[in-house]
Structure formats: structure tokens, C-alpha cells
Amino acid sequence: MSRAWLIGAGPGDAELITVKAMRALAVADVVLVDDLVNPDVLQMAGPQAKIVHVGKRGGHASTPQREIIALMLTHLRAGRSVARLKGGDPFVFGRGGEELLALQAANIPVEIINGITAGIAAPTTLGIPVTHRGLAQGAIFVTGHGAGDDEPDWKALAATRLTLVVYMGIRRLEDIARQLLQAGMPPHTPCAAIESATLPAQRQVIATLSTLHAAVRAAGIGSPSIIVIGEVVSLARPDDAAAVHAAERPLSLGIGFRQGVSTERIDAAVRAALGPRSLDEVVVVGTLDRKADDTSLTAFCERHGIALLGFTPAQIEACLDEHPLLPRSDTVHEHTGVHAVCEPCALLAAPGSTLLAGKYASDGITVAIATKAPTE
Ligand code: SAH
């Protein structure tokens, strides 16, 4: 009976493989390769090696787990040594445990060779440590793939205040972010989504919990991606400044205000409403049509180079009809003739946008923020 290795190839960059893995690859008779493994790594296999791809990407049909195990056993029983090569670490969401159990049950000696997991390598490329004194006392690796019974307890995870590193989560990002927000995680929590980490094709967006989904969609970030959620992301120092700018979503604001507020008060209220976001991201302000030539508001928009749009009460009421969940108030109606001002105006100012944050009210000024959800 021959020997088997369960090998982690690392996150992508072929140089991030271990010396031990290279030595095993050089002598293995058969190499069974998963789809996330960088093909360059296969050059480390010896000339005798038979290479078998068992991954599901690149147009190949995925080989079911039990067939992979059966294939390994066939080669091993024929006296061939088998290297099972997986992306990242074989024991982190790699089903390495199942393969180990099957090989042990067949009395085959197995050596496990760790790899650098994507959940650590991906944030590292941006200078994000998954733990950091004073910011995160630990990190949780979690799958975003599960749904139903397999769903992680996001509420419990949010309560830990530890760094959350989500694998396989990009497709369910909207749902995950919503659940974390519902669990009380602050909307301004810094987050990153990092695609094809450590490879030349790497791309990323850095945003907040409330904006990450829109930023990911806008940038077209897909699989494979690691999502990092937590204060450690504030340490991100990506080399590629353009990638960060891709994350900055153009924002629209809806503003409601009483007669006679100063430009300074509007400025202060808008900055407070924006929180960590920048005024530079605001492209348009919407308000009630008869307020759109208010001198304080026009001065504010001119100062920051922001477009200003006025909407008629009929447009605003139609928007409210379209969005039945928006708050409306009879008191506002008494004063303005419409049931709400800032939320519908934020949405009307950028057609196709969605609200980012609830209404912010300060000193007679109300502000709502929306961002344009890109079409898919
Ligand atoms: N065993 C692997 C994980 C396999 S699960 C490891 O330890 O890294 C597959 C998931 O890993 C992907 O959906 C993605 O979330 C993540 N992943 C793997 N390689 C990646 C890469 N280069 N960049 C970003 N995410 C990656």
C-alpha cells in the first residue's frame, strides 16, 4: 500500500506553498488537483506524475466527493502514491477532514501538509492583520455559503466583536450584511471584499457594513472572494489606490429643512449624517421644489460642487407610493404638503438608488442618504 498526502497549495501565489508541499509534489505518482489551485504549482510535480483535475471551475463538471475518494483509493491500492492538492489549507473549508477519515478507514498512511489559508492571506495583501491588539482579540472563520440549518448564527457572531472572515460568502453578501446589521453590528463597521487574493487578478473593495454589498456589485467583485468584517479593516493600506476609489459609491442626499437655516448649519448636519463617509462622495442633493432655490442650500451645494434638484409634491407622493416601507408623518404633511421629504428626495435624486441610512435629524434639518444600486 502506498502513501497519501493532503496538501494545501496556499491561497493563489505559487510562491506561498510550503517547502514540505513542494517535496511531496516532486515525488507523488498521482496529483489530484482542486480548481482553486494555481496551475503554476503543478510545475512542482515530478515528470512521472499523472495530474488529474477534479475541480468544478473552468468548464469542468465537479467530481463528487465520494468519487474523488474512490479515485484516490484506486490509485493507492494500485501502489501509487497520491498527492491531494487543495487551495489554501486542506483543513479550512477544504473537505480535507472527510478525505482523511476515508483514508484512515482504509488503513492508508496520510500526511497532512498545511497551506496558507485565503482568510489570512487575502487581508494580509491589504495590510490587514486578522487580529490586532486593541482592535480584535480574535478572528472567526465562517462560511457564508450555508443557508437554512447550515446558516451560521450571525447574531451570536456579531456579539463577539471579533474579526469575521467569511469564505464563500460573496453571493450571499446582501443577506449576511442585513443579518449582521439586524443583530446590532454598527453600519459603519469597516469591511473588505477581496477577490483572487495574492494573484495578479486580485481586486478588492473597502467599504462599510452598510455599503459593502453595493460597492461589491458596483465593482463586479465575484468568486473566489474573502470578506473581512471588523475594525481591523480600518488598517487597510492597499497599494492600488484606484481599487479603493472603486469602492466609493456616489451618494445622493435628500434634505428637508425649515426656513432660515444657515449654510453652516446645513453643512454641519450633512457631515453628521454622513458619519465616516466623505462629502466628496455626494453627487446630488434632492429637496422639495419650493426649497430648491433657498440661498443657504444653493450656497452649500455650490461650495461642494453638488447638483441640486427640486421635486414636486406629486413626485414625492408617487415615490412614497412606490416605497410603502418608507416612514411618513402627518405632522410633516401639515408643514410641507407631503408625508415625507428627505427619504423620497434622496431616492428621486438618483433614480434606481436605495437608502443607505435612516433619516438623520439635527437642528431643524433632516438628511437621508441613498446610493445608486448598479444594475447587474
Ligand atoms: N481551503 C481553502 C478554502 C476553500 S473554500 C483555504 O484555506 O483558503 C473556497 C473559498 O475560499 C472561496 O469561495 C473563497 O471564499 C476563498 N478563497 C480561496 N482562494 C481565494 C483567493 N485567492 N482569494 C479570495 N478568496 C479565496
Which ranges constitute the DSSP H helices of the chain?
A: 19-27, 65-77, 96-105, 118-125, 154-160, 173-182, 212-219, 241-247, 263-274, 295-304, 313-322, 330-336, 342-349
Q: Exposed (0-12), middle (13-18) or buried (19+): which is 133, by Cβ within 10 Å?
A: exposed
> Of the residues 22, 35, 168, 363, which is catalytic?
168
Asked if residue 184 is part of any domain, the answer here is yes
pTM beyond cutoff 0.85: no
Q: What is the CATH number of the domain that holds 38?
A: 3.40.1010.10
Q: What is the structure's pLDDT at 376?
A: 37
Q: What is the structure's pLDDT at 244?
A: 42
Q: What does DSSP assign to residue 196? A: S
Q: How many angstroms does the Cα of residue 83 sit away from the middle of ligand 1?
A: 20
Is 149 one of the catalytic residues? no
The last residue of one of the domains, among 97, 116, 135, is 116
Q: What is the structure's pLDDT at 353?
A: 85
Pocket of ligand 1 (CB under 6 A): 11-12, 36, 86-89, 92-94, 117-118, 122, 167-168, 194-199, 223-226
Please tell me whether residues 107 and 148 are part of one structural domain.
no
Per-residue pLDDT of the chain (376 residues; tens, 9 = 90+): 589 999 999 999 999 999 999 999 999 999 999 988 999 999 999 999 999 999 765 445 667 888 999 999 999 999 999 999 999 999 999 889 999 999 999 999 999 999 999 999 999 999 999 999 999 999 999 999 876 778 899 999 999 999 999 999 999 999 999 999 999 999 999 999 999 999 989 999 999 998 899 889 888 899 999 999 999 999 998 654 434 443 455 889 999 998 899 999 999 999 988 887 888 788 889 999 999 999 999 999 988 878 889 999 999 999 999 988 888 899 889 989 999 999 999 999 988 888 886 678 887 899 999 987 554 3
Please tell me whether residues 264 and 227 are part of one structural domain.
no
Q: How many angstroms does the Cα of residue 204 sit away from the middle of ligand 1?
A: 14
Q: How many angstroms does the Cα of residue 159 sit away from the middle of ligand 1?
A: 25
Which ranges constitute the DSSP H helices of 248-286?
A: 263-274
The last residue of one of the domains, among 116, 133, 167, is 116
Please tell me whether residues 146 and 230 are part of one structural domain.
yes
The last residue of one of the domains, among 81, 96, 116, is 116
Please tell me whether residues 234 and 134 are part of one structural domain.
yes
Please tell me whether residues 102 and 148 are part of one structural domain.
no
Please tell me whether residues 81 and 112 are part of one structural domain.
yes
Q: What atom of ligand 1 comes closest to residue 36's alpha carbon?
A: 19
Asked if residue 347 is part of any domain, the answer here is yes
User: What's phi and psi for 256, nearest 5 deg?
Assistant: -125, 145
Asked if residue 24 is part of any domain, the answer here is yes
Q: What atom of ligand 1 comes closest to residue 194's alpha carbon?
A: 24
Asked if residue 199 is part of any domain, the answer here is yes
Number of structural domains (the chain) is: 3
Radius of gyration of the chain (CA): 26
Asked if residue 376 is part of any domain, the answer here is no
Please tell me whether residues 164 and 191 are part of one structural domain.
yes
Q: How many angstroms does the Cα of residue 197 sit away from the middle of ligand 1?
A: 9
Question: Measured between alpha carbons, how far is residue 182 from residues 17, 193, 274, 325 in Å?
Answer: 40, 20, 20, 16
* Residue environment code for 272-300, b if the CB has 16+ CB neighbours within 10 A, otherwise e: ebbeebebeebbbbbbbbebbebebbeeb
Asked if residue 67 is part of any domain, the answer here is yes
Please tell me whether residues 198 and 237 are part of one structural domain.
yes
Q: What is the structure's pLDDT at 83?
A: 97
Q: What is the structure's pLDDT at 56?
A: 61
Best mutation site among 17, 33, 36, 145 for ligand 1 pocket (most ligand atoms within 8 Å of CB): 36
Best mutation site among 85, 125, 130, 167 for ligand 1 pocket (most ligand atoms within 8 Å of CB): 167
Is 240 one of the catalytic residues? no
Please tell me whether residues 222 and 155 are part of one structural domain.
yes
Is 34 one of the catalytic residues? yes
> Of the residues 50, 56, 280, 293, which is catalytic?
56
Please tell me whether residues 305 and 217 are part of one structural domain.
no
Structural domain including 34 reads 4-116
Asked if residue 181 is part of any domain, the answer here is yes
Asked if residue 72 is part of any domain, the answer here is yes
Q: What is the structure's pLDDT at 360?
A: 83
Q: How many angstroms does the Cα of residue 226 sit away from the middle of ligand 1?
A: 7
